[in-house]
Structure 1
Amino acid sequence: MLELISHPADHVVALKAGGIVTARELQCAIDAIEAAKKAHPRVSMVAEIDDLRWMTLTALMKDIGYGLAQLGDLKHYYRAAVITDKEWIKHIAHLEEWLFKALEIRTFPRRDRDAAMAWVGELPKGANEDPEEDGYHGA
């Protein structure tokens, strides 16, 4: 299960994941991210992950493909918060931070959910301007 959840900041795409994630659910999340990218110069994301077991093979392939496609488009992203108490998910988040160096990724324990939501909701200085003018000049 992967579902969109609300966040008070318009530039934040917030998700909650658990159980088995399907390709259709993942496509809804991708569509939300793409819509946010069209509406805002910088987009942040938050993922609350509790009892995630796995993704279907189709969802996994879609996730990898979308992630790789974003490598050339990182100027639209700002922050990502991962809320979880699962150590294996924290390790994956740190790997993604290494892969997507332009995106600041932090993990938060579930008890710090409010802090994660506040952190991911912050905008960089000059965020209402073009991402190139925010001091970001490429991936």
Structure 2
Amino acid sequence: MIEMIDIEIDNAIAFQMSGKITKNDMSLVLNAAKEKIERHGSIVLLEKIDSFKGVELAALIEEFKYLFDVGIANIDKVAILTDKKWIENIVNIEDKIFRNIDMRCFTLEQQPQAIAFLKSADLSYS
């Protein structure tokens, strides 16, 4: 399940994940991303992961269609809130692969720091 969150950043897509991600969940997030990209040109993402029990195949297909259609060039920063070490490890690898996107993990309690990171104007990529 995905629940959208308002973090008061105009070009942000923010959501909380729990359980299994469905096609409808994925469509909700991807449609919001398309709309924000059309309005702002680029977006930042905040993903709060409480629990994760997998992704439906149909949801993955939706994501691949989006990536084919829109791509990832319009994503500036990604903040992941999680207490799962394995998710943090994946994000660290993705940060090295997707060099044009600044990706960072934060604990669930560090949401204010994650939002400050997304608001910061520093777009230098390490």
Which TM-score bucket, shorter chain as reference?
0.7 to 0.9
1:57 to partner: Cα distance: 1.5
Identity across matched positions, percent? 23
- TM-score of the pair, normalised by structure 1: 0.79
Matched, 1:79 2:51: no
Contact 1:44 1:78 in 2 (8 A): yes
1:98 to partner: Cα distance: 2.8
| CA deviation string 1:48-91 (max 9, x = no partner) | 001111111111233344346555x51x2211000001011112
Q: Measure, in 2, the Cα distance between the counterparts of 1:114 and 1:98.
A: 24
1:97 to partner: Cα distance: 1.8
Closer, same or farther: CA 33–85 of 1 in aligned 2, 3 Å? same
The residue aligned with 1:95 is 93
When the two structures are aligned, how many residues end up with a matched partner?
A: 124
Closer, same or farther: CA 91–66 of 1 in aligned 2, 3 Å? farther
Gaps of 5+ in 1: 126-134
Q: CA RMSD in A?
A: 2.1
Contact 1:3 1:29 in 2 (8 A): no
**Which 4+ residue blocks in structure 1 deviate beyond 6 angstroms?**
none
Paired residue secondary structure (1:53): coil
Instruction: Indicate the structure with greater strand content.
Output: 1
Amino acid at match of 2:110: D
Q: Which has the larger radius of gyration?
A: 1
The residue aligned with 1:116 is 114
Paired residue secondary structure (2:41): coil
The residue aligned with 2:16 is 16
Q: Measure, in 1, the Cα distance between the counterparts of 2:12 and 2:27.
A: 17
| CA deviation string 1:88-115 (max 9, x = no partner) | 1112222322332211000001121110
Paired residue secondary structure (1:19): coil
Paired residue secondary structure (1:48): strand
